[in-house]
Amino acid sequence: MIIGLIIIVSFVGMVIYCVKGHNLMVGFFVMSVLWVTLSLIGNAIDPSPAMEGLTWIDVLTNVYQTGPENFGRSILVNIFFGAFFGRVLMDTGIAATLIRKTVELGGDRPRVTLSLLCVMTAVIFTSMTGIGPVISIAVIVLPIMLSLGTPASIAMFSFVGSIMAGIFVNIVNFNQYLGIMATVNPDYANYTFDDYFVFALIAAGVSLLAVLMVANLSLGKKVTHSWAVENAPTTGNAPVLSWLSVILPVILVLAVKIPIIFAFILASLYALLTTKKIAKSFAENCRMFAKLFSEGAIDVAPMIGFLLTLAMFSNAANFAAPYFGKIVGPIIPTTALMLCLMFAILGGFGHFRGPMNLVGSGAALLPVIIASGNWPITLLFPLFAITTIAPQHLDITQSWVAWGLGYTKVSSKDYMKKAIPTSCAICFILGIVTYFMYGM
């Protein structure tokens, strides 16, 4: 009980640390050290089932070696190749072309153009990932939105919210979250993107609709600028055939069952071939591929360090779970209905890397929830996906949100007035949807 209370206090301290915007990589490493130390002390006093048959060296190896190694082997390679594919979409001009064509389709109707830009942004980020691709698309989309007469705070919210909707269908993010959950229960690794896809489409649709409703209600009569399609960027467009590459990885994974890394490689080659970016010289092509991969790796480098320390924290949380669970275990729901309601109502606590956020302090809550009812992954994954994706990708602790606030000169207060209520509404709706799809 005493160790459990200390862990709770440190948990609250971690949430405050996240809210203040301090370095998360360092924060999760420090927390892993603290929780492992407390767990070892507790095990020395009264043996813990989580450490049965393990020496203190085995525990340290599990947290600081096995955790990052397993996470790297199963998840990080997907992130690197996803970032490489994102760079291909940018350098071939495919992503920019889709944005320009969307603007042309909207014509002189600002609200229609704004909505179409949000839809296209969501589609693009079903495959792209990393702050580099986000910024590259943002410097095209945000000036267009502002030229439509959209106030900066609404433009910023609409763009970031559209990315959030697309992330629900993003294969890289799916594998990232599944890897975290599989560290607690290895059986969860059998869950596939195919199992999740229908829910992902529903979640993306609900999220995008919520963002568009909030954006349009916030606009009121503020759109007064007379927009003309001639104002759109006019640089060269990528061929129509190349546009398919944006959703090609998802198609290959779902329809052909091709492994995700190979799907990214094939989609990248298709994009390069259809845009005629493949050179005649073998050496020149080698340099191009090396450049694209290295730039993609740079895009996701900060994320990699964070995820590796998060893997340490997740494994440390497994050893701390018996003590943590002693305090919070009795209040964890034991029925599917109540569990779904808990996620639906408390979804807003996914903001600031809070206790409902799987890539935040929610990594500590995960083993406690799993132990409370041995929940099937078909129910648990959608619930954590909701309270991680919606709050996290609308939150000011997200790197590209912080960049966007500086770029658009929007205050965090004005932005969060729209972001927090929207994410809470999305979590509530999708929590109920999850119960009817998987909880009954």
What are the average pLDDT values for consecutive 10-residue runs of the chain, which has 440 residues?
A: 85 75 80 90 86 89 86 70 81 82 74 88 84 77 83 91 94 87 86 94 96 89 50 64 84 82 88 86 87 81 76 82 76 89 91 80 82 87 94 83 81 86 95 94
Say what the pLDDT of residue 435 is.
Answer: 96
How far apart CA 373 and CA 138 sit, in angstroms, is: 43
Residue 114: both structure tokens together: 């704004």
Calpha distance 423→393 (Å, rounded) = 9
Longest dimension (CA), the chain: 74
156 half-sphere exposure, CB direction, 13 A CA radius: 26
Report angle CA 22, 207, 120 to the nearest 5 degrees. 95
What's CA 13's distance to the chain center, in Å?
23
What's the pLDDT score for residue 229? 45
Looking up tokens 């903001």 gives: 351
Given this model, what pLDDT does residue 319 score? 85
Residue 216's Cα: distance from chain center in Å?
25
Using alpha carbons only, what angle is made at residue 88 by residues 309 and 242, rounded to the nearest 5 degrees?
140
- Closest C-alpha among 142, 97, 104, 95 to residue 123: 95
Structural domain boundaries in the chain: 2-439
Q: What is the DSSP secondary structure assignment for residue 256, as one 8-state letter?
A: S
State the pLDDT at residue 227: 46
Report CA-CA distances (Å) from 389 to 143, 191, 338, 394: 26, 18, 21, 8
Query: Distance (Å, rounded) from C-alpha 196 to C-alpha 343?
Result: 18
**Three-class DSSP labels, the chain:** CHHHHHHHHHHHHHHHHHHCCCCHHHHHHHHHHHHHHHHHHHHHHCCCHHHCCCCHHHHHHHHHHHHHHHHHHHHHHHHHHHHHHHHHHHHCCHHHHHHHHHHHHHCCCHHHHHHHHHHHHHHHCCCCCCHHHHHHHHHHHHHHHHHCCCCHHHHHHHHHHHHHHHHCCCHHHHHHHHHHHHCCCHHHHHCCHHHHHHHHHHHHHHHHHHHHHHHHHHHCCCCCCCCCHHHCCCCCCCCHHHHHHHCHHHHHHHHCCCCHHHHHHHHHHHHHHHCCCCCCCHHHHHHHHHHHHHHHHHHHHHHHHHHHHHHHHHHHHHHHHHHHHHHHHHHCCCCHHHHHHHHHHCHHHHHHHCCCCCCCCHHHHHHHHHHHHCCCHHHHHHHHHHHHHHHHCCCCCCHHHHHHHHHHCCCHHHHHHHHHHHHHHHHHHHHHHHHHHHHC
Burial of 9 (0-12, 13-18, 19+ CB in 10 A): exposed
Residues 6+ apart with CB under 8 A from 232: 100, 103, 104, 144
Nearest to 427 by CA among 354, 343, 338, 365: 343
For residue 120, what are its two tokens?
A: 């296209």
The pLDDT value given to residue 31:
87
